[in-house]
Structure 1
Amino acid sequence: MVPNIRYIGNYDINAEGKFLWEILCQLRNLGVGRIVTKNEWGRKWPKQPSYLKIVRAYPSMDRWLLRGKLWADWTYRGINLGLYEFSTDLARSDWRLIHKHEEDEFMKCDTPMKPIEYPKSMPLPPYLRAICKNGDVIKMEEKRINLDLCLDPQFEMIKNLFKQVESNHGDSVYEETRPEVWLDLYGDEMPTKVEAWTAGPAELRPHFDNSVPTPLPPELEDLSLPEFKFDFTESESVNDITNVDNLNHIKMVKPVKMILVTGGVISGVGKGIISSSLGVLLKAHGYRVSFIKIDPYINIDAGTFSPFEHGEVFVLDDGGEVDLDLGNYERFLDIRLTRDNNITTGKIYQQVIERERRGDYLGKTVQTIPHVTSAIIEWVERVAAIPVDGSDERPEVCLVELGGTIGDIESMPFVAAFEKFQRPAFKDQLMTVHVSVILEPKSTGEPKTKPMQNSMRNLRASGLTPDLLVCRSERPLNKALREKIAAFGMVDLEQVVGVHDVSNIYKVPLLLHQQNVLEMIVERLQLTAVDAQGTLMLKPNLFQWTHLSNLCDSFEQEVRIAVVGKYVQIPDAYASLNKALRHAAIHAKRQLYVLSEHLELSDDLQRTEDYNSAWEMIKQCHGIVVPGGFGGRGIEGKIAACKYARENNIPFLGICLGMQCAAIEFARNVCGIKDANSTEFDKTIVGQQQVVVDMPEHKGEKKGMGGTMRLGLRETIFLTDHCKLRKLYGSRVINERHRHRYEVNPRVVPKLSQAGLLFVGMGRDEKLPNIGGNPLPYAALVKASKYENLRKVEENGIEVDRNTDTREQALLLSKIEVLCRIGSEEASTTSVRMEIVELKDHPYFVGVQFHPEYLSHPLQPSPPFFGLICAASGQLESFLRGSKIPSPVSVLKEAENYGPNVAENVLQATHSFVNKVGVLTDKYRNETGSNDSKDC
């Protein structure tokens, strides 16, 4: 067998295995019933097996899988020691799993270790002996002994072990030292009788014998002390536990319940919104929720997808490039996911192949079933238990969305993996929700259910039974149609839920709530009831959600925003951006209209007409957004839009590539740099023409294209307090998500700033600049530049006290010059990233290198987008002066007005309140006068 070797650092080169939790978290049921051992034990006693048989496991699910509690049946050198609790002796990469077919052979032992006789007494320390000599007794509250007072040579052997206990303030030696140390104080030649005092690993019961002749210090001979009582309480031994199933003091680890959401008939039917809405209902009623999105494509992640192929690429805090549905999950529930929450066929196959190459399968034929399906379930169960809401509490429910449609050949391994939950033993751990569409062809004029029936037949044929049917339709379903679907689908009428087209997606959770979906989930998964009063603190609650959904349609004043992009033909290509604009419009009390246009020059007559028509539409808008993108197609149109916004005082927001286009336009038309461009579009430009350059450490040509950009959550610091975005954010240091490979050239930043394009925000990369051979920390870099600025201002003779604006601008310009000089000394170690730009003397001309749309939330809009909407609607100046717009979402806190007698019934009150909305009836839709749209 090929050994599993993993050397971690130089301090532990003898560790030849894995971390224990790294092994257990990959096993079904966290390895209960399996056997693990240390390689160190095998080297010391090859004929006396030492191992742990897992009884209970409770991982902390920390980032590196190093912490947790474990209860195991411990066999040490052939002797069974009984049940033990392990918590601190697990963080060493020296563990390995004993495969099932090797267990019997491994556990054989002909010559077990001989029993050890432990002494029953130990020398009394001098201080206590002095007390006993005077006839006094003392009560020892902390059960600790300061061994520095002890002069008895018998303590020298174990003195260091006790000092570990004293320094760590534990309750017993067993908890804070390696357990086997107490059984192996003498190494390989341990005698059968230990002369020095020690204790077993499960309990610490010190017995003092004051008859041991030890010299008493002279200063303690005539010591007179008050009367104390000397008392020790016997500690409970773990070995006394005989029934493992009745361990009341052990916190049982409940499995995370799962809701599998599948789709039928067509893709894009709305599984993501349905999944998010189910999560809203669960979280609003007190349950902790997590999400997993399964994409059956073979790509490792979504990073290399074209927006035309798969829509937007959403970026997470850890730099994961994932499906846009994970953005819906985060926005709806205010959670933070990781790249592991997005499973692809490529990731699963990559993991299985790596295991096969390491020899983990022991020469077996690796097949889809069971190896691939087992890898899928292990991944899902591991990620489902990771907290995502900012707390350390395990989620109670994990929603798993399976991409594509039932019947696709790509999704068959994933469906087969979840088939195990159909067995009676796992019946209450998985609920299957099937989302399908009710087609209504214009030629017939009536809804057709046959496609849904076929998709349900495919679902049952694959081994899954639907517990809930969500029917997407243009109009509300009548009872007769629901009865027909229930009859042909072999489900109860209550299991058929209708979700018709509504004016905004925030009404979907209310639709599901009104049809008692939450009650069905609780009953099906046998979820534990939660405290109703505790749910009032959760966000978003159904009160706010109901108010939010109504606000989207209640505003009469409109604001029109033009999105000048490259992929406007595909609505999902800018999904997060459109939602961020809508969030900002709600808080600015405006009805939003987004006009997506592309300005692509062409010699073709038809495209020329489209170009001119697009310009006419842009000129009718109140604000312009130029989003990110890649490649040179349509760049000149984006640059033209930047010029139009700058010259005509149109509120403008440039994101990523949009900010770079604004810098290129300003360099050409204001700074007079002829042929200024980006090295991404023109490789022949040199010198100051290189306004935008690639970041050397993120070059795709050297490392490939996938996952090589500057990705994930990064820190940005404002260089001045006198800028619009600084006031909108309300903080000097912000964190936003990035996805780019190019940046504005630090060498041309000072020239652009001197001309009026002020770079007011700076980020940093992993590599910090060096000054005098020492790396300069981020905060120290800013502090040093500020000191340099003050000196430069004095040298230039600027009267800083008379004109605050002049003073601040001089400080900013000098600071930019210093930072860019440091950051551009060597292109290979660039650290200064200019990430926020504002145009001087413009209502709102802002560019950001990051993507603020990724962190926008319905209850907390992104500041750059909120500033754009406020500027486009003429409200920005009053907002910045302090006359803040009251957010309409903060209204409706009726739960706070409930008395103590009503608080316990808040869930019922919530249910009644939501039902008043009546979003299922045509009457409500006619009263609001809103037009249905297919936002789902």
Structure 2
Amino acid sequence: MPQKFVVVTGGVLSGIGKGIFSASLARLLKDSGIDVNILKIDPYLNVDAGTMNPNQHGEVFVTEDGYEADLDLGHYERFLGINVSRRNNITAGQIYSSVIQREREGKYLGSTVQIVPHVTSEIKERITSMKGEVLVIEIGGTVGDIEGEVFLEAVRELAFEVGRENFLFVHVTYVPYLRTTNEFKTKPTQQSVQLLRRIGIHPDTVVVRTETPIDANSLYKVALFSGVSRNMVINLPDVPNVYEVPNVLHSLGIHNLVGEKLGLKIIDKFSWNYPKSFQPLKIGIVGKYLGTDDAYKSIIESIYLSGVQKPVVIDAQELEEMADEQIKYYLEQFDALIIPGGFGRRGIEGKIKAIKYARENKKPILGICLGMQLMVIEFARNVGGLTKANSTEFDPETPHPIVNMMEEQKKILHLGGTMRLGAQKTLIEKNTLLERIYNGKNLVYERHRHRYEVDSEKFKNLFKKPGEPGNKLIISAKSDFVEAIELENHPFFVGIQYHPEYKTRVGNPHPIFNWFVKVAGGK
């Protein structure tokens, strides 16, 4: 049987949930006995998401093989329960770089290199190299964006070449509700479909995104003016919990519609275990990227999937201006705190103040990546007496460089894709809280994304082994450098150099978050 393709495009607005829809549909197909794979196409010219500001584009998701990806790949992993790789993401930067390299190497034999056929051929090669009985392809952006046109042309050509019967085009679009006239306005969706048809793609299914359920007459208008069968126009209104979306799509029978259109044998064994109630714990993420919730997406979802309501993002810069008493008054409302990763010195002193408060007041706190480094710096300053301790990232002249750039990183000139990335071997020390969290495991593989490391050799007086006396930090995990620290006589003072949030799955949150929320809830 030839490979089948489901292409998901977006219309009217970006950010309407194409990634959630694509991940949910792929999960339904997986639970229908289909060997499914998934691909995200990003039309931006960046080679990957690694150098992007989280305030603009959301978090950078790191795959097992060390690829810095768009956050939608995090949705794919959480919903499908799989590890994706760099092959599951295509960017315009990758495509054009490859085409230019081929041209420089003379691979085009003197041809004038053009968008069609050379760029579109490169895209098609990348698509068809993906394995799977069905490949779900999500094309980022919206129809009408100039940067996305070449990708739409490529999938149009591919559908023609392999047979239209092997393709299903799904157009996810937004229908606004106009309160002044008390009606849904379908005209933007009609125009979006028309734009798609002018490119040469006729959608088989239109998924209508709305804030509230839409009336049948409006759906009929979408079908009529889009030229799509009424039973293939599906309303997907907002839900309070995005993990309900697979259930909604299953109840609508979309997996059967896809199976019928593509000639797939559907064996419905849908199973979806997600939290339906949430503890009213107030967890604060002391962060610096406040432009969008997506900046800390995987951390937020890890807390959510551990059965706790959505965390609150605290502005670390605001904490910088507060005295200790103000900090205490402000932070005591929270059941627990998270210090996430990040880059640059903005907000750093505010994070350190939050760590000091949590350490002194026995507030559960989890430091991730930069968060762990700052926990060591705070301890060095306020317990170890090294008042000017710092990271060379923030103060290159610090007399106490507790955190320093990794040796192999000092020779690197380019920023993109050059950090310590992906799954790395991590050794858990015996008789530590971390060992209990991992249920006795002493060897794990966790995903990393960093350039700096804690210098435990030069500042060894700050640290001790488990069971040794003294008020010092315990190194609870190590590889070639410090991977995790913890503190005795504290309910939860744990810092980790790696990113456990990237390995959370629906129905299986990372054990560090499970333990963290239990302690936050007083268990």
TM-score range, shorter chain: over 0.9
Q: Is the 8 A contact 2:81 2:506 kept in 1?
A: no
Indicate the residue corresponding to 2:354 in structure 1: 641
TM-score by length of 2: 0.95
Query: Partners of 1:436 and 1:473 in 2: how far apart?
Result: 9
Query: Partners of 2:128 and 2:61 in 1: how far apart?
Result: 23
Quote how far apart the aligned CAs of 1:863 are: 1.4
Query: Partners of 2:79 and 2:327 in 1: how far apart?
Result: 33
What is the letter of the counterpart of residue 874 of structure 1? Answer: G
SS in 1 for 2:113: coil
Indicate the residue corresponding to 2:83 in structure 1: 336
Where does 1:360-379 land on structure 2 (aligned, <5 Å)?
Answer: 360-379=107-126
Indicate the residue corresponding to 1:695 in structure 2: 406
Indicate the residue corresponding to 1:707 in structure 2: 417
Query: Partners of 1:694 and 1:741 in 2: how far apart?
Result: 6
Indicate the residue corresponding to 1:736 in structure 2: 446
What is the letter of the counterpart of residue 336 of structure 1? Answer: N
Q: Is the 8 A contact 1:600 1:611 kept in 2?
A: no
Quote how far apart the aligned CAs of 1:747 are: 2.3
**Cα gap change, 1:657 to 1:344, in 2 (>3 Å):** same
Return the match for 1:868 from 516, 520, 523: 516
What is the letter of the counterpart of residue 407 of structure 2? Answer: P
What is the letter of the counterpart of residue 597 of structure 1? Answer: I
Where does 1:143-154 land on structure 2 (aligned, <5 Å)?
Answer: none
Corresponding position: 1:284 with 2:31: yes
Corresponding position: 1:408 with 2:131: no
Indicate the residue corresponding to 1:566 in structure 2: 288
Corresponding position: 1:316 with 2:63: yes
Indicate the residue corresponding to 1:66 in structure 2: none
Corresponding position: 1:677 with 2:390: yes
TM-score by length of 1: 0.54
Q: Which ranges of structure 2 fall in alignment gaps of 5 or more residues?
A: 465-470
Query: Partners of 2:409 and 2:333 in 1: how far apart?
Result: 39
**Cα gap change, 1:608 to 1:744, in 2 (>3 Å):** closer
SS in 2 for 1:434: strand
Query: Partners of 2:202 and 2:328 in 1: how far apart?
Result: 53
Where does 1:541-690 land on structure 2 (aligned, <5 Å)?
Answer: 541-542=270-271, 545=272, 548=274, 551-552=275-276, 554-555=277-278, 557-584=279-306, 586=307, 591-601=308-318, 616-686=329-399, 689-690=400-401
Q: Is the 8 A contact 2:211 2:237 kept in 1?
A: yes
SS in 2 for 1:600: helix
Return the match for 1:293 from 29, 40, 58: 40
Quote how far apart the aligned CAs of 1:623 are: 0.4
Query: Partners of 1:840 and 1:445 in 2: how far apart?
Result: 60
Q: Is the 8 A contact 1:601 1:611 kept in 2?
A: no
Aligned-residue CA RMSD in angstroms?
Answer: 2.0
Quote how far apart the aligned CAs of 1:421 are: 4.0
Q: Is the 8 A contact 1:598 1:611 kept in 2?
A: no
Q: Which has the higher contact order (CA 8 A, sep 6+)?
A: 2
SS in 2 for 1:520: helix
Indicate the residue corresponding to 1:853 in structure 2: 501
**Cα gap change, 1:352 to 1:485, in 2 (>3 Å):** same
Query: Partners of 1:749 and 1:255 in 2: how far apart?
Result: 61
Indicate the residue corresponding to 1:520 in structure 2: 257
More strand by share: 2
**Cα gap change, 1:614 to 1:309, in 2 (>3 Å):** farther
Where does 1:36-55 land on structure 2 (aligned, <5 Å)?
Answer: none
Q: Is the 8 A contact 1:422 1:464 kept in 2?
A: no
SS in 2 for 1:423: helix
What is the letter of the counterpart of residue 855 of structure 1? Answer: K
Quote how far apart the aligned CAs of 1:648 are: 0.5
Where does 1:103-502 land on structure 2 (aligned, <5 Å)?
Answer: 254-382=1-129, 384-385=130-131, 395-423=132-160, 426-502=163-239
Q: Is the 8 A contact 1:318 1:339 kept in 2?
A: yes
Corresponding position: 1:762 with 2:478: yes
Q: Which ranges of structure 1 fall in alignment gaps of 5 or more residues?
A: 1-253, 386-394, 764-831, 876-936
**Cα gap change, 1:612 to 1:506, in 2 (>3 Å):** farther
What is the letter of the counterpart of residue 684 of structure 1? Answer: E
Quote how far apart the aligned CAs of 1:279 are: 0.6
Quote how far apart the aligned CAs of 1:569 are: 3.2
SS in 1 for 2:164: helix
**Cα gap change, 1:843 to 1:615, in 2 (>3 Å):** closer
Quote how far apart the aligned CAs of 1:614 are: 8.0
**Cα gap change, 1:760 to 1:425, in 2 (>3 Å):** closer
Query: Partners of 2:394 and 2:179 in 1: how far apart?
Result: 47
Q: Is the 8 A contact 1:434 1:470 kept in 2?
A: yes
SS in 1 for 2:412: helix
What is the letter of the counterpart of residue 283 of structure 2? Answer: I
Query: Partners of 2:135 and 2:516 in 1: how far apart?
Result: 36
Where does 1:708-727 land on structure 2 (aligned, <5 Å)?
Answer: 708-720=418-430, 722-727=431-436
Equivalent pairs counted in the alignment come to 516
Q: Is the 8 A contact 1:749 1:759 kept in 2?
A: no
- Deviation track 1:321-375 (CA, whole Å, cap 9, x = no partner) reads 0100001001100111111211011100111111111111110101000010011
Quote how far apart the aligned CAs of 1:756 are: 1.9
- Deviation track 1:294-325 (CA, whole Å, cap 9, x = no partner) reads 11011111110011121100001111001000
SS in 2 for 1:305: coil
Q: Is the 8 A contact 1:599 1:614 kept in 2?
A: no
Q: Is the 8 A contact 1:597 1:614 kept in 2?
A: no
Query: Partners of 2:353 and 2:327 in 1: how far apart?
Result: 12
**Cα gap change, 1:618 to 1:448, in 2 (>3 Å):** farther
Q: Is the 8 A contact 2:176 2:210 kept in 1?
A: yes
**Cα gap change, 1:493 to 1:847, in 2 (>3 Å):** same
Query: Partners of 1:297 and 1:838 in 2: how far apart?
Result: 41
Q: Is the 8 A contact 1:373 1:417 kept in 2?
A: yes
SS in 2 for 1:558: coil
SS in 2 for 1:702: coil
Indicate the residue corresponding to 1:204 in structure 2: none
Indicate the residue corresponding to 1:785 in structure 2: none
Q: Is the 8 A contact 2:124 2:158 kept in 1?
A: no
Quote how far apart the aligned CAs of 1:702 are: 3.3
SS in 2 for 1:355: helix
Indicate the residue corresponding to 1:812 in structure 2: none
**Cα gap change, 1:285 to 1:841, in 2 (>3 Å):** same
Query: Partners of 1:525 and 1:361 in 2: how far apart?
Result: 35
Query: Partners of 2:352 and 2:110 in 1: how far apart?
Result: 59
**Cα gap change, 1:256 to 1:560, in 2 (>3 Å):** same
Q: Is the 8 A contact 2:96 2:119 kept in 1?
A: yes
Query: Partners of 1:709 and 1:702 in 2: how far apart?
Result: 9
- Deviation track 1:194-215 (CA, whole Å, cap 9, x = no partner) reads xxxxxxxxxxxxxxxxxxxxxx
Query: Partners of 2:326 and 2:147 in 1: how far apart?
Result: 42
Where does 1:752-791 land on structure 2 (aligned, <5 Å)?
Answer: 752-754=462-464, 755-763=471-479
- Deviation track 1:836-875 (CA, whole Å, cap 9, x = no partner) reads 1111111111000000000011211111111110100111
Query: Partners of 1:749 and 1:288 in 2: how far apart?
Result: 52
Query: Partners of 1:748 and 1:442 in 2: how far apart?
Result: 65
What is the letter of the counterpart of residue 410 of structure 1? Answer: E
What is the letter of the counterpart of residue 594 of structure 1? Answer: P
**Cα gap change, 1:626 to 1:370, in 2 (>3 Å):** same
Indicate the residue corresponding to 1:509 in structure 2: 246
Quote how far apart the aligned CAs of 1:445 are: 3.2
Quote how far apart the aligned CAs of 1:612 are: 9.8
**Cα gap change, 1:565 to 1:868, in 2 (>3 Å):** same
| Percent of aligned pairs with the same amino acid | 44
Larger Rg: 1
Query: Partners of 1:379 and 1:510 in 2: how far apart?
Result: 32
